[in-house]
Chains A and B, each alone.
Chain A
Amino acid sequence: MKKLVFTFLTMVVFAFVANTTFAQSVYNNANVGATHEYIVDGLDGTDSWTFIVTLSTEDPYNGGTVTPADGTEFDFVNSETGSGATSASVQITWNTIGNYRVWIQVQDDAGCYNYRFIDVPVTDNNFNVEIIALGSGDENDSDISGFTEATTACPKFVGEEFDDEENDTEGNTYVYYKVTRTLDNASTSDWAFTPAISGSATVTLWESSVDGQNWSTVSTITDELVVTDASGTEDNVWFRATATNVTETQTDLTFNFGTSAYEVTGGIADQDDSGSNTATMTLSPLPQIGDFSGN
């Protein structure tokens, strides 16, 4: 029997991040959403192999059930079979919480099999990004960090002119959203997401803020936005949309980042296991006022 030496190395692979390090998920204690590479060396170059994933209670060598299935609880990112090399490897993305075992079944050129495994508990990645709508506002809102969720609101007044002797107008209104990242460990990690905007309200300006007080223009809201988190405390980012022509009829504005959020440093995707990745703000119409007359 050949002596197989498991050296499980892990590498998180995402299309958008390369050569990252492991902030949280590791190969033998993986998080949901993480992808790790499992490598076995010490093969003689003529062996063929197959990687198998089972629950930790199963032993396929002794007739145990080979579960779960690829494509459900986990995904083989590349082929789980191979041959003709002294080192075998496979990348696995973990989809579901559970206690798993990663096996390698090696068959030599004589047709004999040998097995090795490593237990891989997979836990919630605890990386979550969610969004809530915070209602509407105006220039008097100097600090919206304490605002709570509101999905329906009346338009407020930005750039309004109520003087009936002038060209009176209700102006625009602000619509607020808060995107929150949660991460159990205290590691510092930039995080990112890509919004998609829809709805009947017309937005003339998007701004973002990391404190709910100071705003920076977002030139293209549908571009990926990376939240730099040097201190490990940047868990929120607020958005302010300047919506126009929203006073006469009911309008809505949806901010949706779908499954685009991920932890830049750890490379873990948002599994949408808490909260929502989309928020819709509905703006009720204002009562209309006609002309003034005095006598």
Chain B
Amino acid sequence: MPAYKHRMTKLFLRATLFASTIALIQAQTDSRTAEIEAARDRKESQLSPDTPNTWEQRLIYVKDAKVLERLSAGIAGVRLKIGGMPTGSGFAIGPDWFREDWGRGEMVLNAGAQGSTRMWHKEYASVKATGFAKNKLWWEAEALHHDYNSLTYYGPGPDSEKSNRTNYRLEQTTVDTMLGGRPVPMVRLGGSAGYLRVNVGAGQDERFASSEKSFPAVPGFLRQTDFFRTGLFAQLDYRDNPIGTRAGGNYTLRYDYFHDQDLNLHDFRRLDLELQQYIPLYNKRRVIVVRTRAIQSFTRPGQVVPFYQQASLGGGNDLRGFRPYRFHDDNMLAMNAEYRWEVFSGLDMALFFDAGRVSPRRWQFQFSQLETAAGFGLRFNVRNATFMRIDAGFSHEGFQVFVKFNGIFGDRSLHSSLAPHLF
């Protein structure tokens, strides 16, 4: 039999079988009910467990077993902490112990240690007690030691050269305590005290000169001292959501007195004022943010602020077209404006303009002399909280890209004895 005839015969038989089957079904389904029952018959012959696929099963397990929550909570409060060191540390990681269920849930305990790829390290412990005076008072204490072996320094003053990049080692140990009160819901007031031990050494990043060799006359490099600090703070905070603010304001004021314990050279007082205002537009899908931060130092004749306690300007938190810690001096003014708009629920974009300047004299800032930067950024959000941001800033010194795992202009410590750019 020719091949094509063989194929045609097979096709004929199949067609006959197919049509007969349909006819048979049709004969059995002479009502709508029978038709539905026939479909049920077919379904019933193919029943199988309705199980999710492997990927869905894994996601169900992650949620049911609260895997992310367990990782976050750790084992008996011990978990891995990633990040949390100042800019320049490289990738930082270390164990962190956190409990908030002690003292009937009115104590928060935290301790940990971190090391970074650039061999910086930090150890810390803190306790916070709430619940006094009908939850209107709280107390905190913190001890910290760090050794940052290659912090960047470009020299003092607003005219420091970008090419004069050096680095230094800063080892500090602090013990701070504070007592705060909340007389009305949006206001916090309090006082704090602390002790600070400082050791400055040669920078370990061999790509750059060590700072004390380039700037031997800068106070603080050759002789170090300890400080006893006392301070007051006040905060008015009416932001709608502190971790993803779209409306409201946050105004903080700190005033600290640093008393030189050994050299009688570095007594100074510092005023740290920050004003943040969030102006919502279009149901908060657009936000204009304006922020001003001013740090002013006060010294008596014969006293100077050591360089490691001076205000710093530049980097991902204030002047984003400049390198981190680009400018240092006793006084600083930074102004930022951002226009943010929602791209979709998980992403906002921002256009920003930054201006600022450091100065050896108080309130000596002429607008024409301000360093400026402009750029754009991305703000990644989960559940109304910013968990990551990318900012690209442009200035006459080039451009900088910053990837940060926090919201810009976030909350800052009201009681730390460290320099403002290190907490």
Whether A and B are associated in the same complex: the answer reads: no
Chain A residues with a Cβ under 8 A of chain B: none
